[in-house]
Amino acid sequence: MIEKMKLLHITGPRNDIDRVVKLYLDKYDIHFENAMTSLNNLKNVRPFVETNLYKETDRKGEELKQYLEVSRRTDLEVTPKQAEEIVLEVYGQLEEVVRSREELNGKIRQLREWMAQTAPFIGLDFELCKLRDFHFIDFRFGRIKVDNYHKLEQYVFHNPYTLFYECNNDSEYVWGVYFVPHTHLEEIEAVYASFQFEDFQVPEDLEDTPLHAFEQAEKHLREREQELESLQMQAVELVKAREQELLAACECLDCYCRNFEIRKFAACTGSGGGGEERYILYGWMSKGDAEKLQREIAMDEKINCVEEEPGDDPGSKPPTRLKNPGILKPFEMFVEMYGLPGYNEMDPTLFIALTYTFMFGVMFGDVGQGACLVVAGILLYKFKNMRLAGIVAVAGVWSVIFGFLYGSFFGFEETIPALWMKPMDNIMTTLMLAIGFGAGLILIAMVLNMINAVRAREYGRLLFNQSGLAGLICYGFVVICVLLFATGNGLPATILIGAAVGIPLIAILMKEPLSHLVEKKSRIFPEGSKVMFFVEALVEGFDVVLSYATNTISFVRVGAFALSHAGMMGVVMTLAGLEKGNPNWIIIVLGNILVACLEGLVVGIQVLRLEYYEMFSRFYTGNGKPFVSFKKREQ
């Protein structure tokens, strides 16, 4: 069902808005409308413009909370001004520690980068300061891929002008340094480049052997990390000394900043010269919450709250909030996928819950596989909160029911007796029943469309739409005639058939001028040539008749998939050798899993298609505005 709403006009002194929000509005789910949109024609109304003075302080408070256990709570209460003073005082005391910590982090980062540059060459047991004293020998540090290194070794072995010293290696690269006389540098560099040798720069301040320097750097790194840990503990102790005050201040500022956003929806009125400025808030609340709020603020002289019924203010469209029992909650997902119902429309959640799961069971009737769907759906819905899993669980119940009716258990057709019939033994009956069932659902959808038309006061749609009264009479009479013919009974007189089918069909073709006439509009026929109107009406009439037929025949898939399931499981049993008396149970298990997954997915999609295209499109617009709680939106 759709929850009943009330439109509230809340006004009070401008400087009292934060108290009202914190004391009253924060307790309820309320969907705010922009007050300026409704009051833009008034000259003395302007937007509620104000600067959030505590936004930066709130950010600093969030930084300080990182040093505390966020699950802790406090009973202290402070004003926003007091909260600002507390946060700034603690933040100021912490600034020196934070600055020292940032400097130390920078040193640690530089030290790690230095170690990363040095690490590949720790195998070189030679002081680099001595290497730099060479006058006639050049050297290059770098790395080369393992495959190319083996080729390079052959070259170095036969070339007297270069020497390669391996320092380190892994599965992909070899790190090292090569030496070359200064007179042959360009020639040897070109050769090493051809082997894809990549030059690496070692730190310029590296004077000792790489290994010894690396060990010294590790020692310095540990010392810096200990200093950092000490500073962290110092910061935590400093903040914890003011823990209760700080938690209260952060809670106050967070609440203030969150509620400050309400000003975007508010308007202000009142003269600037001596008169008191007042705020105006427009918001939708459920009828029950609105009554509770009115009782709460009854004795508060600073607040004035006026209620309006939906429709009293034509400029404000009521939002839609679905309210259904827990078992129907998962099916709201399908409704939301198509579009929320308008406030005055019927909530189709119950309809789709019944029809979707029923048709799924008809098309996927198997006791064993259905029971697996129930168990898997319940577990996933309970532990993962997956709405689709909840739908699968309910659909699985119908699969079990129709499994007993068909006498099917994991594809075994003889294990349990069929309480009704076996689809493969009654193919035509199964298909005809599916079409008849579809015709019944289409008639129900037409009735629902008429109810929605009455709620929306669209009397043309009620009387002359192809899913309205005219369509119900026309289609319903054809269904009755087909039923009489199928059961061997006589048909009504030809004149009665012509009148019952022809007159409603003509009304459907002329729905636009007839709707204008009923609704007392000034123009009966639409603009343009009347000849073209009648030509378009004839084409539309052909389309209406064709759609009645195709929509009805579309339900044959309900029976077809019931046959398909039995046929696919029959193939699995044949492949497993069931007829020979010694079945292959691995094939049976894997076949059941494959059929359950594949056909379950396809059946689920096909049933949803029937819901949307054959039924929802007849009675449901899905143009509702979602109810967005300000409290939940800001969380």
**Terminal Cα-to-Cα distance of the chain (whole angstroms):** 26
- Token readout for 376 is 């898997």
Mean pLDDT over the full length of the chain: 87
The residues facing 281 across adjacent strands are 10
pLDDT bin (cut points 50, 70, 90) of residue 447 is: very high
CB atoms under 10 Å from CB of 259, counted, come to: 19
E strands, 111-221, in order: 137-145, 163-169, 173-181, 198-199
For the stretch 336-368, pLDDT in tens is 999 999 888 899 999 999 999 999 999 999 999
Q: Nearest Cα to 403, choosing from 429, 435, 428, 371?
A: 371
Can you tell me the distance from the alpha carbon of 585 to that of 581, in angstroms, rounded to the nearest whole number?
Answer: 12
Predicted confidence at residue 540, as pLDDT, reads 83
Range with the poorest average pLDDT among 174-183, 388-397, 521-530: 521-530
pLDDT tier for residue 208 given thresholds of 50, 70 and 90: confident
- What is residue 313's predicted lDDT score, i.e. its pLDDT? 67
Query: Is the pLDDT at 258 greater than 90, yes or no?
Result: no
Sorting pLDDT into bands at 50, 70 and 90, what band is 274? low
pLDDT of 314: 65
Q: How far apart are CA 406 and CA 497, in angstroms?
A: 38
pLDDT above 70: residue 272: no
Q: Tens digit of pLDDT for each residue in 7-45?
A: 999 999 988 888 888 888 888 999 999 888 878 777 788
Tens-digit pLDDT profile for residues 554-610: 999 999 999 998 889 989 998 988 877 788 899 999 999 999 999 899 999 999 999
Query: What is the reported pLDDT for 408?
Result: 92
- Percent over 70 (pLDDT), the chain: 96
Task: DSSP letter for 311, please.
Answer: T
Mean pLDDT of 463-474: 91
**Helix axes 80-118 and 210-240, enclosed angle (nearest 10):** 170
Domains (range + CATH), the chain: 5-48+271-319 (3.30.70.2170), 52-114+223-265 (no CATH), 126-208 (3.30.70.2750)
